[in-house]
Structure 1
């Protein structure tokens, strides 16, 4: 079905925000060109009942501009955390905004999630483009980013990312959709089973920053390699906050299967595949937002994120896969979320 486009709202400085609907007759995904935000994902259950399974707001002014916890947004220039808001590149130190305790998080005060992207429809794809100026949020280099969204007949939501720079920089992009397969307003992750294709993870300190180690999940609460009741596991994760950890994908190449979550009562299932070396599995400990989409109250442990990306703090961890992008190189990432009905 063709992608539709409608006026959604206006930014504070009066620029138009548009919303795009991608449909295939079974699933519908809605995206705005402000922050590349996925506002809605409508998915049927085993009986054909449709629910919106991603958290968000009804309008821009309801919260995407001021209250959002990165709901559905494209995140950059550097997704996740950088220690002490600082990194060194070719002998020069760059100081970033410390917007997450002592650390930099998700691109700074005004990251890619708070920018209006240029939008176009090309066939059955939504194409968003943004040019991040040299020095924006104190990152070096002018970076040109293109992100393409496609919804296939196989219920695959495919995100393709491309970026190029005119000066050596660091880059780490992701999408920060929050999911609840029972429906965005369900309020808990009861009934969800999780299985991650990750036998290693990166432990964190008290500020959720990687220690630099890459540890096995075997024998720990981080072992999610077999079907696990998510709600039962959350209170037992060390630190008391549930999951907010980077999981390591060791299989090389494209289209790595990273994660599968199923909501047993409804039968809804989501699988994530990615070209990235890891992903952040986050279970929404810091979410506490009243009167969100449809009047819903969003609370801790009421949603989960599957953020395909490089490891947090990679610019300060030489043993992690590099996030440096140089002139003449192209950053590429493909991640897809596949919606289905779980086999009984």
Structure 2
């Protein structure tokens, strides 16, 4: 049986590229400055697909996917050691919350009371504040082998943490099956009314995380009639704008890089590329629906992304600035990856027309995202 070695901090994880069952294997990724160990769990199926999840930030640290010729590559950006996640945080694969994306000036009102969260993106709050869910050590609460292998992690966010009301208990479950489907599911409960918007911030380069050709040749489809325009600070204006006739129209497949530098569109200028929410629906649903397709024409690697969320934040890696080196010691530059985050619309608590981010005691928040991975190879 062939094997592939993944370096995980001080430990080396041997991941089978051919296995007889989908399995979950645990190792130690590294150690935090306070001495706490950071577990890593790798899920592997019989097709050579494997996903490595680290407990720091409940983050997807690696995703190995073969190309149409069977050659594997790691398509998720990330770091080889815990030290880099601490010294140069970039949200690589991280679980972001309590409120993912942006809150205008870090403020929201709930039941007539105003709340202030830390501002860490200019004058606005981004991804839960300066110590969001991506910057805490989660507890691994269970792993499972079988037709579907999985790892479950938990974080308890205390009442008042980062300014949010209520003690929020969050479970993140990663699972991989023999149909090459990677599912990330977030569930959360609270002991008092609060707001919640949790998603995963994986950066993708379907050519391989260290590929020199970047990710702008990726063909993307987003089945949305509208997108959410923003001001210069990436805060929604409150409008939903038709994509027809704009650079935001991905209803048919287009390369990311085809129009990402269109200086004639003020929205592209504001964001230095794509960093917007596409309106797939108007509310969270009980069933999954198609959010996006992405494929690398050269390798055949790709995925369909399905979720129960109404919005898709699509980001073209505009702020990868060459100051981070990844797992293959290659520099990550602008356009070297893209991000697709199923979620509710940004700044929803301050835009009643967008719906609600509210979670009450006795109810369960749920965000499910399934990546139906493809290799371009006929089995």
TM over 0.5: yes
1:174 pairs with 2:208: no
1:233 alignment partner in structure 2: 259
1:278 alignment partner in structure 2: 311
Q: 2:329 aligns with which of 268, 289, 295?
A: 295
2:134 alignment partner in structure 1: 113
TM-score with structure 1 setting the length:
0.97
Q: Counterpart of 1:302 in 2: which secondary structure? A: coil
Listed as ranges, the matches of 1:93-242 within 5 Å are 93-123=114-144, 124-187=149-212, 188-236=214-262, 238-240=267-269, 241-242=272-273
Q: 2:278 aligns with which of 226, 247, 256?
A: 247
Q: Counterpart of 2:230 in 1: which secondary structure? A: coil
1:32 alignment partner in structure 2: 54
Does the C-alpha gap of structure 1 residues 65 and 231 become closer, same or farther in structure 2, counting only changes over 3 Å?
A: same
Moved >4 Å (runs of 4+): none
2:18 alignment partner in structure 1: none
Contact map agreement 2:209 2:326 (CA 8 A) in 1: no
Contact map agreement 1:259 1:271 (CA 8 A) in 2: yes
1:146-193 per-residue CA deviation (whole Å, 9 max, x = no partner) reads 111100111111111111101110000000000000111124224311
Contact map agreement 1:280 1:305 (CA 8 A) in 2: yes
Contact map agreement 2:117 2:164 (CA 8 A) in 1: yes
Does the C-alpha gap of structure 1 residues 204 and 29 become closer, same or farther in structure 2, counting only changes over 3 Å?
A: same
Contact map agreement 1:262 1:342 (CA 8 A) in 2: no
1:23 alignment partner in structure 2: 44
Q: Counterpart of 2:140 in 1: which secondary structure? A: strand
Does the C-alpha gap of structure 1 residues 283 and 190 become closer, same or farther in structure 2, counting only changes over 3 Å?
A: closer
2:85 alignment partner in structure 1: 64
Matched residues in 2 for 1:102 and 1:343: separation? 47
2:12 alignment partner in structure 1: none
Contact map agreement 1:3 1:121 (CA 8 A) in 2: no
Contact map agreement 2:67 2:377 (CA 8 A) in 1: no
1:269 alignment partner in structure 2: 302
Q: Counterpart of 1:294 in 2: which secondary structure? A: coil
1:227 deviates by 0.8
Does the C-alpha gap of structure 1 residues 122 and 58 become closer, same or farther in structure 2, counting only changes over 3 Å?
A: closer
1:215-237 per-residue CA deviation (whole Å, 9 max, x = no partner) reads 11111110010011211221125
Aligned length: 343
2:357 alignment partner in structure 1: 323
1:12-54 per-residue CA deviation (whole Å, 9 max, x = no partner) reads 2111101100000220100101111111101000111111001
1:310 pairs with 2:344: yes
1:257 pairs with 2:327: no
Gaps of 5+ in 1: none
1:121 deviates by 2.8
Matched residues in 2 for 1:310 and 1:112: separation? 17
2:69 alignment partner in structure 1: 47
* 27-36 vs 289-298, which moves further: 289-298
Contact map agreement 1:191 1:265 (CA 8 A) in 2: no
1:80 pairs with 2:109: no
Matched residues in 2 for 1:250 and 1:190: separation? 26
2:26 alignment partner in structure 1: 5
1:290 deviates by 3.4
Contact map agreement 1:41 1:53 (CA 8 A) in 2: yes
